[in-house]
Chain A
């Protein structure tokens, strides 16, 4: 997953013996945008490294020169108001160098910007992402309303297909950021924003909200699953299906609880009476990789913990701890696990 340049840049960390995954790293090369970013970043790094070397070289030379003869505490008598002519030339040269360097970088930045803007010019897929405290509400747009899919916290994208993501917010400002795939864009209430990208590598990438948005800002993650086009379509078609009907007494009890008690006032499950829109859509909850916007991986244990006491697992989030009886908890979790 890691690009060649990434390997070079993070060499110090590798040398330090750090074994790490890079699915939230900027050095992924996993999309056209991040590929361009890495090229531009390396250009900037090289220019800046040269400038830094010049400054430090001059500093060292100036300090070493001190070892010349003469008492150190005497003011430069007689000529201390004059400037050294060589230094005057040096100043002019330095200014020209800094100016040229900046001009080159500004131009590189300009073309980098244009290249990224053009890469995904002809969108093939359009997705709405709405930021909420503290989760992501995702809708796949389609001209055919029956093909629209609503999900949460997990974005599925087909590889090599330009995607246009429309960014909105219902509450405070959030920022959509999947480092391995693209730079960030803010989701601002009252404004429409968007971002385009072309994923180039199949894989799983993690992103998270990058604008401070309140108590659980750190726990507002987003998982992006880049699939082959065929897998993506399979996923889409699966998402269009309604939730399966409960088949055992336990899941039936869970179904009854979820659809008639507190849960359904916020959550929707397609094919059931639960149709709240305040919280994430749960129709295919159990097929997602994480619970509560990346707060914890999807597992039976975590589902138990989350349903029983969301406030202690993600303090401050808007899902209340409602105090389920043990049998209710078993039933609800059993039902939720059927929502593949």
Chain B
């Protein structure tokens, strides 16, 4: 038993020690600045070299880079699959690829592009840029961030290893039951698909939580919600959408695994399950998924338009409201993927109207970007060219979207190449073009060098024109009666010419992507050295060096307008007082961004990596036995407990608020 009077005595002793030490704690400020501050911050924030340091790092910039590069590798792999399919479809009745192999190809193409490229690349860019853009030293929950990357990597590698071992999925990226169920897909192909979903949803949810908290709590003082850059808004909306959408696919893919592994009958109509249940749950995720990909891209467009037109995006508040309403509406129109399933006609009319309504916020955003160009002084460097291509292309996809929102039209066009054309216009025109633009735009920030403008323009024109050649004829293929997901088509239906054009276009796009990648690699060594703000942009990521130091900013900047770097005269105003000897960043209030807390940032740790290995083993093993879940919990629990073991303040403990 502790004597009652010793408790206050111990606390008093602690307080005295703290008071003594407080004077000795190194903080950034008038006394500590310039080269000395940077050297000391660098010691605190730099990761340890070597493979252990590489695996353990929690630096958002390293994780973001890995995310982007991994996602681009998956883009290339998915692209190769697309080329294989286009070669097969170049001629009618072609027998180059067997139907079974073709089914694997389009399943892998769709799954790779949706789950392993499009969503992760958006998250990767955001994980890299958002902390810089909102002016902080790290993401919140940096270890969760590291965990999220490894989960994504393992899920992607598992899927592709399975494909190379000839147990890759062949049930489509949508895996409709009962085709994907135990009766019609024996073997492990569908299980591999379902577990890949589990990996990516864990990863996406983790990244979404990291981004939401970083955006809401770690913004620089003065960056009120009203002054928050549109890209941060877009990522906030996207991350919240992930939080609401992913559980639906988690649920339906777990039920599928359960049907396949332990013999439940969720989707088995013969045992009073329901095959359509899958479609409702899947599309409740699947439709928002499209906007989860598209909304960050609208953020890219806003960023580029603002910088290259030399004025803020017209009607900032309108764009923000458009983003939020798109995010909400996205959850109310999943049924338009199911118009042919025989649902009640009143429901059809409702979902037709709901689907068309999405065109309003999107139309508003288009108008705002055009008004920005109109009112600004546009410079047509490569990123801006991609914005123009985005508008020309995406609007076609949006309008064909209005066409297929109408039930009577959709019943003809659904599941035809018209739809293939539509969603590639939306996803490539709407998301990949802005992505290529933004990669060119942020390349100097990430690498410290500029990409070649000449090669950039060559690949831009090839990707833009090649894309139109590849995908515009698909509208006609669809109208002439070509359904999706067919490994071949008969001669004599008029499908030969559009398919041949599509194949030629696809190869031009592929060549353009190769040039883009070559440009990226060559510029890494030969590119012009980039100054901190090569494009003359207005947001905070350009307030630090290119590439940024491990601690991002020597002092946390203070924001006084929407476009801080354009409005500041002389030096950026800053706040000081963060610890230099420990990793620490400033948290601010959610709405007004008033300084709130000094938040210790976790040290680098191997445990997130070990935890992701443990969880990965459970996921992979549970493809083969349900017992994996029971036994696999133990290593997961150990890894996660070690990860969350309370941090002991070895040096200079102090109350958090002072």
Partner of A188, one of B273, B342, B375: B342
- Establish whether residues A76 and B275, one from each chain, have CB atoms under 8 Å apart when the complex forms: no
Partner of A99, one of B100, B274, B360, B413: B360
Q: Distance in Å from the Cβ of B271 to the closest Cβ of chain A?
A: 10
Q: Which of A8-16, A135-143, A225-233, A241-249 contacts B (4 or more CB under 8 A)?
A: A8-16
- Establish whether residues A90 and B409, one from each chain, have CB atoms under 8 Å apart when the complex forms: no
Q: Does A281 contact B (CB under 8 A)?
A: no
Q: Does B364 contact A (CB under 8 A)?
A: yes
A194 / chain B contacts, CB cutoff of 8 Å: 342
Q: Does A145 contact B (CB under 8 A)?
A: no
Partner of A91, one of B179, B368, B407, B484: B368
The number of A-B residue pairs with CB atoms under 8 Å apart is 291
Q: Does A261 contact B (CB under 8 A)?
A: no
B409, B488, B495: which has the most chain A beta carbons within 10 Å? B409
Q: Does A278 contact B (CB under 8 A)?
A: no
Q: Does B311 contact A (CB under 8 A)?
A: yes
Partner of A211, one of B176, B412, B489, B492: B176
A73 / chain B contacts, CB cutoff of 8 Å: 310, 377, 379, 536
A152 and B496 CA atoms in complex are apart in Å by 28
Partner of A210, one of B270, B414, B538: B414
- Establish whether residues A91 and B408, one from each chain, have CB atoms under 8 Å apart when the complex forms: no
A40 / chain B contacts, CB cutoff of 8 Å: 406, 408-409
Mask of B461-486 contacts with A, CB within 8 angstroms, 1/0: 00000000000000010011101111
- Establish whether residues B342 and A212, one from each chain, have CB atoms under 8 Å apart when the complex forms: no
B399 / chain A contacts, CB cutoff of 8 Å: 48, 51-52
Mask of B343-386 contacts with A, CB within 8 angstroms, 1/0: 00100110011001101100110111011011111110000000
Q: Distance in Å from the Cβ of A48 to the closest Cβ of chain B?
A: 4
Q: Does B493 contact A (CB under 8 A)?
A: yes
- List A40-60 residues whose CB lies under 8 Å from chain B: 40-41, 44-45, 48, 51-52, 55-56, 58-59
A90 / chain B contacts, CB cutoff of 8 Å: 367, 371
A12 and B483 CA atoms in complex are apart in Å by 21
- Establish whether residues B486 and A26, one from each chain, have CB atoms under 8 Å apart when the complex forms: no
- Establish whether residues B275 and A189, one from each chain, have CB atoms under 8 Å apart when the complex forms: yes
Q: Does A156 contact B (CB under 8 A)?
A: no
Closest to B415 in A: A210
Q: Does B148 contact A (CB under 8 A)?
A: no
Q: Does B625 contact A (CB under 8 A)?
A: no
- List A47-94 residues whose CB lies under 8 Å from chain B: 48, 51-52, 55-56, 58-59, 61-63, 65-66, 70, 72-76, 80-81, 83-84, 87-88, 90-91, 94
Q: Does A309 contact B (CB under 8 A)?
A: no
A210 / chain B contacts, CB cutoff of 8 Å: 340, 414-416, 483-484
A56 / chain B contacts, CB cutoff of 8 Å: 392, 395
B179 / chain A contacts, CB cutoff of 8 Å: 172-173, 212-214
Q: Does B172 contact A (CB under 8 A)?
A: yes
A326 and B366 CA atoms in complex are apart in Å by 69
- Establish whether residues B412 and A26, one from each chain, have CB atoms under 8 Å apart when the complex forms: yes
- Establish whether residues A98 and B310, one from each chain, have CB atoms under 8 Å apart when the complex forms: no
A55 and B368 CA atoms in complex are apart in Å by 11
Q: Which of B52-60, B114-122, B312-320, B596-604 contacts A (4 or more CB under 8 A)?
A: B312-320
- Establish whether residues A105 and B406, one from each chain, have CB atoms under 8 Å apart when the complex forms: yes
B315 / chain A contacts, CB cutoff of 8 Å: 83, 87-88, 91
Q: Distance in Å from the Cβ of A214 to the closest Cβ of chain B?
A: 6
Mask of A183-200 contacts with B, CB within 8 angstroms, 1/0: 111101111111000000
Q: Does A251 contact B (CB under 8 A)?
A: no
Partner of B494, one of A22, A109, A110: A22
Contacts A41-B403, A184-B414, A218-B486 given; does A72 touch B99 at CB 8 Å: no
Q: Does A102 contact B (CB under 8 A)?
A: yes
- Establish whether residues B373 and A63, one from each chain, have CB atoms under 8 Å apart when the complex forms: yes
- Beyond the given A24-B481, A66-B377, please list 16 additional residue pairs across the A-B interface where CB-CB is below 8 A: A23-B493, A25-B494, A51-B399, A76-B375, A84-B375, A95-B363, A95-B364, A98-B360, A171-B178, A171-B184, A177-B415, A184-B340, A191-B341, A212-B484, A217-B486, A218-B488
22 contacts between A and B (CB under 8 A): A18-B497, A24-B480, A37-B408, A52-B395, A52-B399, A59-B388, A65-B374, A73-B536, A74-B377, A75-B538, A84-B371, A87-B315, A91-B368, A95-B363, A112-B408, A113-B408, A177-B415, A177-B483, A183-B408, A190-B274, A213-B179, A214-B103
Sorted nearest first, the 3 A-B pairs with minimum C-beta distance are: A190-B269, A183-B411, A20-B494
